[in-house]
Amino acid sequence: MKPRLLQHGRLPEKTEAQLAEQFDVHPFWAETDPAGYLAKHGGEFVAMTTRAAIGVDAAMLAALPNLRVISSFGVGTDKLDLETARARGIAVGYTPDVLNDCVADTAFALLMDAARQVSAADRFVRRGEWPKGPYPLTTRVSGKRLGIVGMGRIGRVIARRSIGFDMEVRYFGRKPQDGVDYGFEPSLEALASWADFLMVATSGGPSTRHLISASVLEALGPQGYLINIARGTVVDEAALVSALTDKRIAGAGLDVFEREPHVPEALFALDNVVLLPHVASGTHETRAAMADLVFDNLQSFFATGSVLKSAV
Ligand code: 8YV
């Protein structure tokens, strides 16, 4: 008998085929009566997969009384009820590290676009406006000051990318990080005031909700740029929209939003913000590596009792 696995959200085709070979998979994402199905069959499942964007909450875990392992596609754990998983001894696998490079690359793509207005200048050309005159001057990146909010796995790779731009780096977080050669700033407002570019690379969830507040944006100021490749919930989005509209910050580059896939339409007409649809890890190479790790976490758990990359 193959162990029963509840698939919560689609996964790459190769991964779904791998799971089908090793597990008795139920495609929960296709379920027309999710609550009814779990009430009737929830006790049959010992394993489940999910995605960082979907997660698994306390109510769902309560409907899975025999669950032993969760394998999540993504590094974000803000939608996973880790406290309940820990209390019940449920292993939780996720996919850190394999996406660091592509997320850090996207962070600099957004930073460069926000400062040099690459996308806005492209639209300028396509609208046939160049013959009427030159595109306005933009902002230099090289040699500027980069403030990183969250010096974790991805924040450290972003800091390394800054070397190529001769940037000075300081960072903010709960505490100074060992083995990090950048200046630690215990005050987020002070970091925002110092930085030319404020890079949000911290985890999502209740502890960081609206960490980038109206007062932080005010400290960043009319010469400062905000880049967010973390979670939309980390930024007070209404305050950001207002600051961009009123040009109380110079610009922003955003890959994540508070209510994805819905983006405040007030941003659509602005040339001082770059909008991406949460694609930072969205390359063939990285998504394949994440998918492999989702499967490998499960294989490891059923072979050894432990996942390869544990979130708990
Ligand atoms: C995921 C992400 O690919 O890894 C994360 O936490 O935000 C993305 O890289 C996406 O959320 C998967 O659903």
Instruction: Name, in order, each residue with C-beta under 8 angstroms of 25's C-beta and a sequence gap of 6 or more.
Output: 5, 7, 16, 19
The mean predicted confidence, pLDDT, of the chain is: 98
Question: Using one digit for the tens of pLDDT, what is the confidence trace for 25-72?
Answer: 999 999 999 999 999 999 999 999 999 999 999 999 999 999 999 999
How far does the centroid of ligand 1 lie from the alpha carbon of residue 278, in Å? 8
Ligand 1 pocket, residue 281 CB under 6 Å: yes
Reported as half-sphere exposure (CB side, CA atoms, 13 A), residue 262 has a value of 4
Cis bond before residue 134 (omega within 30° of 0): no
Ligand 1 pocket, residue 293 CB under 6 Å: no
* The pLDDT of residue 21: 98
Among candidates 73, 71, 75, which has minimal Cα distance to 101?
Answer: 75
How far does the centroid of ligand 1 lie from the alpha carbon of residue 79, in Å? 11
How far does the centroid of ligand 1 lie from the alpha carbon of residue 230, in Å? 10
Q: How confident is the model at residue 23 (pLDDT cuts 50, 70, 90)?
A: very high
CA distance 164 to 275: 24
Q: Tell me the best of 202, 281, 287 to mutate to test the pocket of ligand 1, counting ligand atoms within 8 Å of each CB and taking the most.
A: 281
Ligand 1 pocket, residue 99 CB under 6 Å: yes
CA distance 35 to 201: 35
* The pLDDT of residue 222: 98
The mean per-residue pLDDT over the stretch 82-103 comes to: 98
Read off φ and ψ for residue 70, nearest 5 degrees.
-120, 135
User: 3-state SS string over 125-178?
Assistant: HHCCCHHHCCCCCCCCCCCCEEEEECCCHHHHHHHHHHHCCCCEEEEECCCCCC
Matching CATH number, 100-275, of 3.40.50.720, 3.40.50.2000, 2.70.180.20, 3.40.50.300 = 3.40.50.720
How far does the centroid of ligand 1 lie from the alpha carbon of residue 75, in Å? 6
Active site residues: 231, 260, 278
Domain boundaries, the chain: 4-98+285-304, 100-275
* Nearest ligand 1 atom to alpha carbon 73: 12
**CATH no., domain 4-98+285-304:** 3.40.50.720
How far does the centroid of ligand 1 lie from the alpha carbon of residue 206, in Å? 18
Q: Tell me the best of 51, 56, 75, 255 to mutate to test the pocket of ligand 1, counting ligand atoms within 8 Å of each CB and taking the most.
A: 75
Ligand 1 pocket, residue 151 CB under 6 Å: no
Q: How confident is the model at residue 3 (pLDDT cuts 50, 70, 90)?
A: very high
* The pLDDT of residue 130: 98
Residue nearest to atom 1 of ligand 1 (CA): 74
* The pLDDT of residue 220: 98
Question: Using one digit for the tens of pLDDT, what is the confidence trace for 168-190?
Answer: 999 999 999 999 999 999 999 99
Q: pLDDT > 70: what percent of the chain?
A: 100
DSSP state of 249: S
* The pLDDT of residue 207: 96
* The pLDDT of residue 33: 96
* Nearest ligand 1 atom to alpha carbon 231: 7
Q: In this structure, are residues 38 and 62 in contact, taking their beta carbons and an 8 Å threshold?
A: no
Question: Using one digit for the tens of pLDDT, what is the confidence trace for 230-285?
Answer: 999 999 999 999 999 999 999 999 999 999 999 999 999 999 999 999 999 999 99
Residue nearest to atom 3 of ligand 1 (CA): 74
How far does the centroid of ligand 1 lie from the alpha carbon of residue 1, in Å? 32
